Structure 1
Amino acid sequence: MTSTGSRPIRVGVQIAPQHALYPTIRDTVQRLEDLGVDIVFNWDHFFPLFGPSDGLHYESWTMLAAMAEQTSRVEFGPLVNCNSYRNPDLQADMARTIDHISAHSGSAGRFIFGTGSGWFERDYTEYGYDFGTVGTRLDALAEDLPRIRARWEKLNPAPTRRIPILIGGGGERKTLKIVAEHADIWHSFADVDTLTHKLSVLHRWCDEIGRDPHEIELSTHVGEKDGALDVETLEAQLALGVTLFEASTSGPDYGLDHVVALLKWRDSLG
């Protein structure tokens, strides 16, 4: 694994749990671990986000528990959990339990608590949750994260490690403040220019609350250019301090050629 400064350069892959039956998803998780991916993610939705809207789809957290038992090396988690769907203390207990399931042979657990405020209205309306507004959902996330962290302190047995919190999103007034207060990892889908600006906002929030922004690992989604890995953009993101690069793959086929190319790029940096 290569590194920049004191933090390793890592590759994560989000497996969209859609348009395939579970055995195919399970096999894809195994392929990714065997390839040398560092983190495997899924997402926390109830319906496909693209392709046929009523296509095959699975729930996130039950699948994460299966990943915990199936894998032995990779870290894993949701990209991202929807804070609206579960009581915060329950979220904490679920995360702690999956952390323990993944702690094979006496090692620490490998679960990453990726979370966000939610956005996909169909999930809310069909499953009976109050959709609210962007603001109310973000306010709920800000209120619930301290409860989640407090519950981790109370649970018996305690988590096997300080469970990393990943927060996705780039809202400047609320989301990046929450990132500054709580995140170990910040995930962005921004282009290079936007990311540069968002980082300046994040640094301002960190200054305001008295936190070193370099404590927060920077993560970003990896795109392609003309059907190939966009190395120029990767290098620009790396220069901004990004060390976690996330690709995605979806059913029914879960192609991984772009993941192999990303891993080769990562390994070439060493």
Structure 2
Amino acid sequence: MSARGPSEYRAVIFDKDGTLFDFGATWEAWASGLLWQLAEQEAERAAFLGKLIGYDYLNQRFSPDSVAIAGTPFEIVQALSPEFPNMSDRELLQVLNAEAVSAPMREAVPLAALLHRLKSVGLKLGVATNDAEEPALAHLDAVGVRAFFDFIAGSDSGFGAKPEPGQLYAFCDQVGIATEHTVMVGDSTHDLVAGRAAGMATVAVLTGMADAEQLIPYADVVIPDIGHLPDWMGLTPLEG
């Protein structure tokens, strides 16, 4: 699908991790810190726990099928919880979310400049993440871009999680724009499947862990990063 042009697109909803933020640079550091903490500073146990969530602790790399890439925090908890019989799922989730709040966020592109450009032509903007809402808000605050968004939802915000389209429908309901005039931008098949289920245009970016070959079947276009989005949408450059 080619871009319809700015007159037909009135809203954009972004995934967070791997889309607004570079996935590897952000979450590989988080995983190492989390596993080191949970393993009580025992490297062998940290490596074992890493295998449970698809993370190579020694080389600090996620496997392509890691539950942490597109899954929710609760799915990560489910993978780890058998190893922590003295902790409830709620307690383990609190540890994950607390560590996530302080994750070192690496912007995929300079976000403030990009989001300003999108807002300058009247687009409504949203975030739909499978991360929890509290860390998501903290991450957007950390780089000073939360105010650009009209809608922010995590997997625990009451709208479900991707690949189901509940978050995307909620965004469109809140901003009063039909899904066919909305673009879903993401780095995983979960994002793109949700977008198509909602009847949105789907744009894939390569700042996550999936490659173009994996994303092409679900995307109207694949671009290197979100910095290429304005050109694809046919937006004119800002003057000055």
TM-score (norm 1): 0.32
User: Which of the two has greater strand per residue?
Assistant: 1
